Amino acid sequence: MSTKLESIAINLSKRGYTVTFFQNKAEAASYLNREIDGRTVGIGGSLTVETLDVFEMLRAHNQVFWHWKQEADTAREAAMKTDIYLTSVNAAAATGELVSIDGVGNRIASMLYGHKKVYFIIGRNKVTDTYEEAIWRARNVAAPRRARQLGRKTPCAVNADKCYDCQCRDRICKGMVTLWGSMSGVDGEVLLINEDLGL
């Protein structure tokens, strides 16, 4: 494990999270498949989660809702009422802060409240040295790349370089949340994966 991953693991633990380390996404997917059984599961919009290919795997023995794979509005609403929620973040500081940006709000809302357990699945590319760098990464790396991927006409997507804090209707970054610790009443577990995953 790299020094940066060691640091974030220690600091996340201090902030109330359970931290589990994996060398690759296959190990992480297998772990989730073992740990989650007979539950209701919601999944947030996440390319990181998508790369794990856990939707069908979990659906074999759980009730799973994901707006990327099912009718969007119905799945979003159902996912917010599940026992378990799977998501990623846009950036994670080695000091332990988790930073996420959202356009609709379902993903960041579910990080904060409503589930018995939230799994945060984080590849090594999301980890920054400082909290300030995490905010910068979320706004200037993750959000523009996602906007471009979605074919949005925002300045960040067209220029693919940085956040312009635009007021475009197409904007995908309408809210940003920092978690300074695992929320009260929620069992937060961070899966750190020693691979580059997501944006």
Question: Which DSSP letter does residue 188 get?
Answer: E
pTM: 0.95
Q: How many CB atoms lie within 10 A of CB 19?
A: 19
182 backbone dihedrals φ, ψ, rounded to 5°: -65, 130
At 105, which amino acid appears?
G
Q: Tell me how many domains the chain contains.
A: 1
Does residue 122 lie in a domain region? yes
Task: Answer whether residue 163 is part of any domain.
Answer: no
Q: Give residue 69's domain range.
A: 3-128+174-193
Q: Does the pLDDT at position 92 exceed 90?
A: yes
18-58 confidence digits (pLDDT tens): 999 999 999 999 999 999 999 999 999 999 999 999 999 99
Q: What is the CATH number of the domain that holds 53?
A: 3.40.50.10420
Residue 165, in any domain of the structure:
no
Whether 78 maps to a domain, the answer reads yes
Strand partners, 20: 191
Looking only at Cα atoms, what is the longest distance across the chain?
A: 45
Q: Which helix (H) or strand (E) holds 135?
A: helix 131-137
Mean pLDDT of the region 55-76 = 97
Per-residue pLDDT at 161 exceeds 90: no
- Report yes or no: 79 and 43 within 8 Å, Cβ to Cβ: yes
Q: Is residue 199 part of a domain?
A: no
129-148 average pLDDT score: 94
Does 160 map to a domain?
Answer: no
Query: Do the domain assignments include residue 134?
Result: no
CA–CA separation, 188 and 17 (whole Å): 5
**CA trace torsion 30, 194, 65, 170 (10° rounding):** -160
- Whether 58 maps to a domain, the answer reads yes
